[in-house]
Amino acid sequence: MPPPTPIEPKVTEQPSAEAKAAPVAFRFRCISCGDLSDAAVQNFRCSRCGDLLEIIHPSWVSGASAPAASDLKASWKQRRSSLSPVDLSGVWRFRELLPALENLHHVISLREGNTPLYALPRCSRLTGLPHLFAKHQGMNPTGSFKDTGMTVAASFARQAGFRWVACASTGNTSASMAAYAARGGLRSLVLVPEGKISWSKLSQSLDYGAVTCQLRTDFDGCLRLLQELVLRAPVYQLNSINPFRLEGQKTLAFELLEQLDWQPPDHIIVPGGNLGNSSAIGKALLEMHDLGLIVRLPKLSIIQAEGANALVRTMRETGGKHLISVQAETHATAIRIGNPASWKKAVRVLQATGGTCEQVSEIEIAQAKAEIGAEGIGCEPASAVTLAGLKKLLKRGFVKPEESVVLVLTGHLLKDPGFTMDFHRGDLFPVAGSDGEENGASAALQSLRRPPIVLDATLEAVIGALEQGEKSSPEN
C-alpha cells in the first residue's frame, strides 16, 4: 500500500452567500507543546511531542477577523428556512465555526443534528429542579451524537482522497462511521471488542456495509491497534482523536444555545467515555463566549460509571495532572473505556467552565434510565448517567435547586435493548442487595419495572392486566 499522505487544511472562501465572515483558515495546534502545523499525520498526534491536536482559527484568536455574533445568529436563523442540503444539516448550518471544506459539495450529510430539546417534567418533580431539560442526541440519523462529528470528519476524509476510513468503537462510532462512509462512497473498517457491544449497534455497521472485526480485546486495545494501523496503511482514522470529529460535535452546543434563545443554562451535564464529546462541547462553549454569542459560561460537568471512572480518579487523585487508567467494567457499554484518549482536553474544559466530574453506580444508572424512559423519551444506559450524576451533584450542593440544567442524552433507547429487557424482567440485578445495592434502591427499581406479561388470549386476562396496571401506575 502507498504511504499515508498528510492531511492538509485549505483556506477557502465562505461558501454561503449570506454569511459575512472573512475566509476561514484553520490550523492544527498541539494541546501540550502548542506546536502549530498546517498538516496532520494520520494518527492526529503532534509530530514533536506525540500529544493530541486541536483545530484553531488563528484569525479569531488574534481577534483580526472574528465573525460578528449578530451576523452569525442572523445567518444561522435564516438557514432554518432554507432547502439547500447543507443548510438542512444541523451541523453545516453552523459552518462559520467549523473548518471550511474546499467545496461544500464534498459534504457527506444525513441531515444530522437538529435534535430536540425536551423538558423533563417527571424528572423535574423527582429532583426538585423546575428548569431541567434533555438535549437528545440519540435522535440523530444513526441514533447517537456521533453523527454530528462524523459528517465533518468523513467529509474531510473524502476531500483528502481517502478510499478507506476506520475506527475503534464501543458501537455508536462504528454505526455512524459505516453510515457516513456508505453515503460518501468510502469503504469502512470497524474494530470492536468481541462480545462487549450490543447486537443492535453491531447490526448497523453490518447493514451499512463495513468490514467489521470483533477483536479479542477491549475498546482501549482496539484503539491502540488502530493507531498503529493508520501509520502503516492509507486508512483515515475516524475516532474522536481526529479533531475534525470534535469540530462537528461542537454544534450540539451552538444548537442548544440557539434553542434557549442564547440564554445559557447554569449547568450542562454529559457522559464521559473517551472524553471527546465533553471536550468538544467545552470547546464550543469557550468559542461562543469568546465570540460574544453568549455572555456567561455554563458549567460543564462529566459523569462516568463507577467501573469506568478514569477521569474521576484522575481529578480526585492527581488534580487532573496525570491520567489514572482503569480496567473498565460497566453495563453502560458505550462508556466502558478505561484509558480515555482526550482526558487532557476534558480536564481543561472542566477547569475552564468551572464544572466537575462524578461517578455513578450500575443501579443508579439503571434507575435513571428507567426514569428517563418513563418520560416517553428514553435513552441508552450511557446517557442515563447524566440524570444519575445530577442527583449526586444536587446532594453535593454543586447544583442548586433554582439553577437550570441540560442533560445531554447521547444515544437512543433502541441501541441497548438487551439492557432494557433485562432491567424490566428483573434479570439485571436479580438478587436484592447485590452490586452494592443500597436500602431502598431495590424498591425504587421495582416500582419502575414493567416486564412483559404472557397471558391467555382472553378478554378477562387482558382486563385483569389493565387493572393490575392501573394499581401500579406511577401516579398511584
Least separation, in Å, of the C-beta of 121 and ligand F0G? 24
Residue with Cβ nearer ligand F0G (171 or 373): 171
> Does 277 help bind ligand F0G (rule: CB under 6 A)?
yes
Q: Left (φ > 0), alpha (ψ -120 to 50) or beta: where does 188 sit? A: beta
List the x/- string, 315-344, binding to ligand F0G by CB under 6 A: -------------------xx---------
Least separation, in Å, of the C-beta of 364 and ligand F0G? 16
Stretch that binds ligand F0G, among 204-212, 267-275, 293-301, 369-377 (CB under 6 A): 267-275
Residue with Cβ nearer ligand F0G (96 or 362): 362
Stretch that binds ligand F0G, among 82-90, 256-264, 268-276, 318-326 (CB under 6 A): 268-276
Three-class DSSP category at 475: coil
> Does 411 help bind ligand F0G (rule: CB under 6 A)?
yes
Residue with Cβ nearer ligand F0G (67 or 271): 271
> Of the candidates 144, 188, 309, 361, which one interacts with ligand F0G according to CB under 6 A?
144
Least separation, in Å, of the C-beta of 203 and ligand F0G? 14
What does 21-67 look like in DSSP terms, one character per residue?
A: PPPB--EEEETTT--EES-B-TT-B-TTT--BEEEE-HHHHTTTTPP
> Of the candidates 99, 141, 193, 273, which one interacts with ligand F0G according to CB under 6 A?
273
Phi then psi for residue 118, to 5 deg, are -105, 145
Q: Encode 65-97: b = buried (16+ Cβ within 10 Å), e = exposed.
A: ebbeeeebeebbeebeeeeeebbbbbbbbbbbb
> Of the candidates 383, 386, 404, 420, which one interacts with ligand F0G according to CB under 6 A?
383
Q: Rounded to whole angstroms, how far apart are CA atoms 349 and 253? A: 14
- Closest by alpha carbon to 223, among 342, 385, 345? 342
**Rounded to whole angstroms, what are the CA distances from 340 to 30, 54, 91, 314, 344?**
17, 16, 25, 11, 9
Residue with Cβ nearer ligand F0G (357 or 405): 357
| Close Cβ partners of 244 (under 8 Å, ≥ 6 residues apart) | 55, 99, 149, 152, 153, 156
Residue with Cβ nearer ligand F0G (271 or 338): 271
Least separation, in Å, of the C-beta of 312 and ligand F0G? 13
Give residue 198's identity as a one-letter amino acid code.
S
Residue with Cβ nearer ligand F0G (79 or 348): 348
- Closest by alpha carbon to 193, among 21, 294, 327? 327
Question: Distance from CA of residue 356 to its chain's centroid?
Answer: 17
Stretch that binds ligand F0G, among 81-89, 155-163, 265-273, 452-460 (CB under 6 A): 265-273
Size of the site for ligand F0G (CB under 6 A): 23
Residue with Cβ nearer ligand F0G (75 or 137): 137
Least separation, in Å, of the C-beta of 280 and ligand F0G? 8
Q: Measured at the alpha carbon of residue 52, what is the angle toward residues 48 and 55, in degrees to the nearest 5?
A: 105
Q: Left (φ > 0), alpha (ψ -120 to 50) or beta: where does 209 sit? A: left
> Does 382 help bind ligand F0G (rule: CB under 6 A)?
yes
Are 129 and 403 in contact by the 8 Å Cβ rule? The answer is yes
For 227-329, strand residue ranges (E) read 235-237, 267-271, 299-305
> Does 386 help bind ligand F0G (rule: CB under 6 A)?
no
**Rounded to whole angstroms, what are the CA distances from 464 to 238, 271, 455, 469?**
53, 41, 10, 9
Least separation, in Å, of the C-beta of 310 and ligand F0G? 11
Stretch that binds ligand F0G, among 42-50, 66-74, 112-120, 375-383 (CB under 6 A): 375-383
Footprint on this chain of ligand F0G (rule: CB under 6 A): 144, 146, 169-173, 240, 271-278, 334-335, 380, 382-383, 410-411
